[in-house]
Amino acid sequence: MHVPYRAVASAVTFLAALAVAAPASIAKERSFTSEKHGFRLVTLVEGLENPWSIAFLPDGRMLVTERPGRLRIVSKDFRLDPNPVAGLPPIVEAGQGGLFDVVLHPGFAENGWIYISYNGPGSGGWATELLRARLEGNRLTDTQVLFRMQPKSRKGQHFGGRIVFDRKGFVYLTLGDRGDKERAQQFDDHAGSVIRLHDDGRVPDDNPFVNRAGTRPEKFTLGDRNMQGAALHPQTGELWTHEHGPQGGDEVNVMRAGRNYGWPVITYGVNYGIGTKIGEGTAKPGIEPPLHYWVPSIAPSGMTFYTGDRFPKWRGNLFVGSLKFQLLARLELEGEKIVKEERLIQGELGRIRDVRTGPDGYIYLLTDASDGVLARIEPAN
């Protein structure tokens, strides 16, 4: 099988130039009502190719990743720079793999570091990697690869790829099982886990498996299938994730050091097509049960705790995008219990890939499509 290795610096600029956004003055707007707020959905940028992640620069610009291997800049007035950012390493576009998340270091204003996850090539195939670099004009400089998932394989699914910093400055990277479910229970394999590192890629001394023989010291958890949403709880500071189940059984979890989240030993999902049981059931001693699960699957991707001021009645709610049902799920919490779900904008925008609370208090969305969009949710008034 031939797999294209695409670097952002490769000859894709011509195609990218065709994807210039419409100016904000002719942005598309649609109005909606919900249980707690009226709002409008505004399309800001069109012509993105399978966009995956958004990051907000302090000067009002945005960075957007495109899965085929391009990092784009969106101006303050929502114009898409036709020239992708140069300087990314080789990126493998294979199945679900490609360019994933982009996140600013919490101290970006002082150090200028940007963190990026992507599907990188290597011995045995390809797998999720993490780098940091600085943005100078339209190019990445001082690039440092901080982590390479091992072992690599040639499968095209379950890469994870979300990046989150906690309040102590540790960086977390979510990884999928790479389509081999047994890997998620193996201590000597990075697959199916959350990775925890210092911001320069060093392994923290207090990682749960750091002194255990036959383990990967970067591992923070195990037993995860494919986490494509991750966010820090605004009160507790703990890392929350959601992950894809198989046929049913998408989950929301709180990631804690050394915990086993069960895949494929326990799950609320079943085997695709035939509906047969996976593993040992839905619960087992010593394995963390999910806080919330979906049957049927919604195919979750992207997640944010709303912390802004534009929608005061939504403050503290968890917002999760759905690829399958093309909706935004609003989850109300009481502590670590999810007590209510409201489904918004179903079928109105497309497959929701990323969900972010912007520094301006709006909720920003990306859609996973060959002609994907950047949109935001604003108050009706």
Domain with residue 238: its CATH number is 2.120.10.30
pLDDT in tens, 297-318: 999 999 999 999 999 999 999 9
Residue 378: predicted pLDDT: 98
Mean pLDDT calculated for residue range 88-116: 98
pLDDT in tens, 237-279: 999 999 999 999 999 999 999 999 999 999 999 999 899 999 9
Residue 27: predicted pLDDT: 64
Task: Please give the single-letter amino acid code of residue 295.
Answer: V
Alpha helices by DSSP H, the chain: 13-17, 108-111
Whole-number mean pLDDT of the chain? 93
Residue 2's pLDDT band (cuts 50, 70, 90): very low
List C-alpha distances in Å: 44 to 49, 58, 69, 148, 330: 15, 19, 22, 35, 22
Q: How many CB atoms are located within 10 Å of the residue 61 CB? A: 17
Residue 28's pLDDT band (cuts 50, 70, 90): confident
In degrees, to the nearest 5, what angle opens at C-alpha 230 toward C-alphas 152 and 47? 80
Mean pLDDT calculated for residue range 202-217: 96
User: Among candidates 251, 116, 258, which has minimal Cα distance to 173?
Assistant: 116
- Structural domain that includes position 275: 5-379
The active-site residue out of 158, 242, 244, 292 is: 158
Residue 24: predicted pLDDT: 39
Residue 381's pLDDT band (cuts 50, 70, 90): confident
Residue 63's pLDDT band (cuts 50, 70, 90): very high
CB 376 within 8 A of CB 44: yes
Give how many domains the chain has, as a whole number: 1
Mean pLDDT calculated for residue range 33-38: 97
Backbone torsion region of residue 376, taken as left when φ is above 0, otherwise alpha when ψ lies between -120 and 50, otherwise beta: beta
Q: What's the rounded Cα separation, in Å, for the pair 40 and 42?
A: 6
158 an active-site residue?
yes
Residue 18's pLDDT band (cuts 50, 70, 90): very low
- The two tokens of residue 156 are 């095209």
Residue 16: phi and psi, rounded to 5, are: -60, -35
Q: What percent of the chain has pLDDT over 70?
A: 93
Residue 297: predicted pLDDT: 97
